[in-house]
Amino acid sequence: MPPPPTWTDLPGRRIGVWGVGVEGRATLRKLATLGVEPVLVDDSPAGDPVDGIQVLPTAAGGLDALLACDVVIKSPGISVYGGEFRRLTAAGVRVAGALDLWLAAADSRRVVGVVGTKGKSTTASILGALATGAGYRCFVGGNLGLPPYDPEAPDDADYWVIEISSFQVKSLTSAPGVVAVTSLHPDHLDWHMDAPTYFADKLSICTKPGAGLVVANGDDELVRRHRHLLGSRVQWVRAPGEVAAWIEALGLLGNHNVLNALIARACLDALGVEAADDILLAAARTFKPLESRLRLVGRANGVDFVDDSLSTNVLPTIAALSSFEGRRVALLAGGLDRGIEYRPLAEYLNRRQAPTLVLTLPQNGDRIASELRQSLNSSETEVKQCRSLAEAVSGAYAWARPHGVVLLSPAAASFGLYRDYRDRAEQFIAAAASLESFEPAG
């Protein structure tokens, strides 16, 4: 196979852009700076032109237009296991990811790629804050913020910290010099087909050309079990007996966030950035936790309301619950059904040593409730099905009084009922704010 193209290889060639989501629009902005007007195709176009270009439906002429291209830049959400993708590659069309076009020309020694089922955004953000506090220009982006190739992104950073999804990893032909692996749990099985394929796709970044050191979560059983996919150089990070002052200064809840911070610190070392404890402490004090990631949003009559709306899988939901050991917790769970198995949540609840009420939400709340009830054997846990988020918040508050926690950690995606996880969080906060004596945090 010829070497992967870079962005500067595209002018003068027939280019297609397949997918006009967030990354697709960033791709269009980049192509415009190169003087390239591509063919634009989307599986479900809205009908209106995008940046003056008419969008062709994939199933109604769009695929034929892509077949006539030299290079097609694919949206991450389009699976490489689909029939249209296979037809393009069989016809000799080079199908590339936008991130790969950037990475193929980047100095991989100055790039950290952060992968994992959950914890990517927090780890990337901490790493960016630490590098900035040490006096370096550090770009943090990818799935978190701007893609690094977006014309609106800076082009003069000292280091690049890129959050990379499993979808994007599968399209990479090269890798960053440092790769962080935060966690593993089955996810996106509709895209990757099954859990073994998901694990293999996500971790393939560790052995692609350019990959150097892999910094991995040594406390994650599934990460350890997949050591054979992590490459030849692995640095394991494990939770310490005592938490450093700079980690406490980050203001994050949960032992999993201690590990995220330590992984970020190890990546900083791998880049060759020296930072004394006083520099780390000062940098940590400026860190702003990300929204909807285990964030206290308010209190009412002694009950804490915690927004963890971005938890769309069982793994982060278990981590969120473990942050409140010994406390009474009302967990709000449910959303878009992606075929995720909820038995691991039941297994954790069977071990939890405090009262727990699980209030399940549409769309997959009935399935969650059924799976939990089949596996639960703890008298400490109850399950209640709810018709709406507002109903769940009200019931959770009544049960959690006087000193418990109402935790929105859905273990399911938000789409279908909400615009996104932010919309779901806003509705959770609005429902909490309608309760008597609610006081917003901060």
Annotate 41-58 with DSSP letters as a single string.
EESS--SS-BTTBPEEEI
For 263-305, the pLDDT digits (tens) are 999 999 999 998 999 999 999 999 988 888 999 999 999 999 9
Domain span(s) for CATH 3.40.50.720 in the chain: 7-101
Pairwise CA distance, residues 47 & 338, whole Å = 28
Domain span(s) for CATH 3.90.190.20 in the chain: 295-440
295-440 has CATH 3.30.300.20 classification = no
Pairwise CA distance, residues 84 & 58, whole Å = 9
Is residue 1 predicted with pLDDT exceeding 70?
no
pLDDT recorded at residue 225? 97
Pairwise CA distance, residues 410 & 408, whole Å = 6
pLDDT recorded at residue 174? 95
Q: How far lies 3's CA from each of 60, 94, 95, 174, in Å?
A: 32, 11, 13, 10
Q: Which of 211-215, 222-226, 363-367, 414-418 has the lowest mean pLDDT?
A: 414-418
Is residue 442 predicted with pLDDT exceeding 80?
no
Which fold does the domain 106-285 belong to in CATH? UDP-N-acetylmuramoyl-L-alanine:D-glutamate ligase (3.40.1190)
Pairwise CA distance, residues 306 & 239, whole Å = 24
Pairwise CA distance, residues 421 & 324, whole Å = 22
Among 336, 364, 344, which residue's Cα sits nearest to residue 190?
Answer: 336
For 171-194, the pLDDT digits (tens) are 999 999 999 999 998 887 778 889
Is residue 234 predicted with pLDDT exceeding 60?
yes
When pLDDT is cut at 50, 70 and 90, the band that residue 2 belongs to is: low
Which fold does the domain 7-101 belong to in CATH? Rossmann fold (3.40.50)
The mean pLDDT of the chain is 94
- Average pLDDT of the residues in 245-249: 95
Pairwise CA distance, residues 182 & 184, whole Å = 7
pTM of the predicted structure, to 2 decimals: 0.85
Q: Which residues contact 426 (CB under 8 A, 6 or more apart)?
A: none
pLDDT recorded at residue 144? 84
Pairwise CA distance, residues 211 & 218, whole Å = 19
